[in-house]
Structure 1
């Protein structure tokens, strides 16, 4: 059984004291593929160091996280473009719109989102979308950019069934993580209506730890709790959930 964590910040400072041990715990739990989203230029060296340590398991994205779209966003976007010119990445991410923390940056978040979607199309790569309290704003841009060259993952999906169907219509898989295990997470109530071919697994570690670890530091080994919940929802075995969602990740990332 091979489990794929399509979204985990293994380079986070939260893991500085036990990173290698924590990653080995995940590998021992059959999590063998780790896809690493970018935040901004300040974390890139950490990402590259992580890749050097686990070259066969760690796959890097490049992008500017919406909460890090600030006054210097144009220089950050130029940095990202430069990275793509120098080496290969697996996706453009994580990108999108976040109106939970700061609504005043909406316009430049939209500009950065569009720019990075265009970058993904240029390099024929998937996008990995971060959306928080911004479904309408994200869908507005996806509607503008839709086409065969737009595809990817709607990371940390927490919307309604209608949101899920709309995301899927834009060639996006739904990234399902710890929220599906929450009592008030809501998505577990309708997820069975979404065919499993549209689902990929993620942790978003160190954030959003699943039950029974909610509120604590999340790590990639905890993805097994997400697998167990999906096995319950879809009435399948753990191995079937792992196999199908790993294949879905291969369909998106090409690896």
Structure 2
């Protein structure tokens, strides 16, 4: 069984004490494809180091995370462009809008999101969207930018059924992780109405650990708990969940 974690921050300092062991635990349970989102330029070297250690299992994205869109965001976007010119990445991400922590940089977040979407189109790459308390703002820009060459993943999807359909209408897969196991997560109540062809798996580790690890550090091996939950929701075997969602990830990332 091959399971794909389409979104994990393996370079996080929360893994500094046991990163090698943590990755091996994931591989041991079948999680053998790890897709790594960018945050800002300060994490770039750590991402490259990870890829060097695991060249066959770790795949890198490039982008500017919305919570790191600050006064220097133009410089950060320039860094994204420079890195894209140097080498190959599998996606532009994670990008988007986050109004949970700070609304003061909303105009800059919107501009950075729009510019990175256009960069993805120019590079023929998918986007990986971060959305927190910003569905309306995200959808507004996706509506402006929608086209045949706009596609990707709506990371950590936690919206309504209607919002899920809207995201899918923009050629987005839904990134499903630990939230689907939460009692108050709500997406488990309608997910069986969404065809599995629109779903990919993710942890967002070290964040959003699934039940029974909720509140603790998340890691990629816990993706097996998400597979189990989706197996219940869709009433199909875990192997089928793993196979379909891995194929979906290949459709997006091309690898």
The alignment's TM-score, normalised by the length of structure 2, stands at: 1.00
Q: How does 1:131-150 map to 2 (within 5 A)?
A: 131-150=131-150
Deviation at 1:9, TM superposition (A): 0.3
For the residue of structure 1 that corresponds to 2:93, the secondary structure is strand
Distance 1:36 1:48 in 2: 10
1:52 & 1:191 partners in 2: Cα distance? 37
Partner of 1:183: 183
The count of corresponding residues between Structure 1 and Structure 2 is 255
> Deviation of residue 104 (structure 1)?
1.0
Q: Following the alignment from structure 1 to structure 2, what is the Cα–Cα distance between the partners of residues 19 and 201?
A: 21
> What is the distance in 2 between the residues matched to 1:49 and 1:117?
26
The 1-side partners of 2:78 and 2:66 are apart by 15
Aligned partner of 2:90 in structure 1 is 90
Are 1:157 and 2:152 an aligned pair?
A: no
Structure 2 Cα separation of the partners of residues 3 and 211 of structure 1: 18
Q: Secondary structure at the match of 1:103?
A: coil
- Report what 1:104 is aligned to: 104
Deviations 1:150-180 (A, max 9, x none): 0000000000000000000000000000000
Counterparts of 1:71 and 1:103 in 2: how far apart (Å)? 13
Partner of 1:167: 167
Give the 3-state SS of the residue equivalent to 2:105 in structure 1.
helix
Pairs within 5 Å for 1:211-230: 211-230=211-230
Q: Counterpart of 1:74?
A: 74
* Equivalent residue, structure 1, for 2:207: 207
Q: Report the Cα distance in structure 1 between the residues aligned to 2:62 and 2:252, rounded to whole angstroms.
A: 16
Give 1:136 deviation, angstroms. Answer: 0.1
Give 1:235 shift: 0.2
CA distance in 1, matches of 2:96, 2:123: 18
Q: How does 1:37-48 map to 2 (within 5 A)?
A: 37-48=37-48
Question: Which residue is 1:29 aligned to?
Answer: 29
Shift of residue 225, structure 1, vs aligned partner: 0.3
Q: For the residues of structure 1 that align with 2:66 and 2:124, how far apart are their CA atoms?
A: 21
Q: In the alignment, does 2:204 pair up with 1:239? A: no
RMSD of aligned C-alpha atoms? 0.3
Q: Deviations over 1:195-226 (max 9, x none)?
A: 00000000000000000000000000000000
CA offset digits 1:58-82 (Å, max 9, x no partner)? 0000000000000000000000100
In the alignment, the residues of structure 2 paired with residue 8 and residue 236 of structure 1 have an alpha-carbon distance, to the nearest angstrom, of 25
1:93 deviation in Å? 0.0
Q: Matches of 1:127 and 1:38 in 2, distance apart?
A: 12
Consecutive unaligned residues in structure 1, runs of 5 or more: none
Give the secondary-structure state (helix, strand or coil) at the position aligned to 1:32.
Answer: strand
Q: Counterpart of 1:205 in 2: which secondary structure?
A: coil
Q: Distance in 1 between matches of 2:84 and 2:252?
A: 19
Name stretches of at least 5 consecutive residues in structure 2 with no aligned partner: none
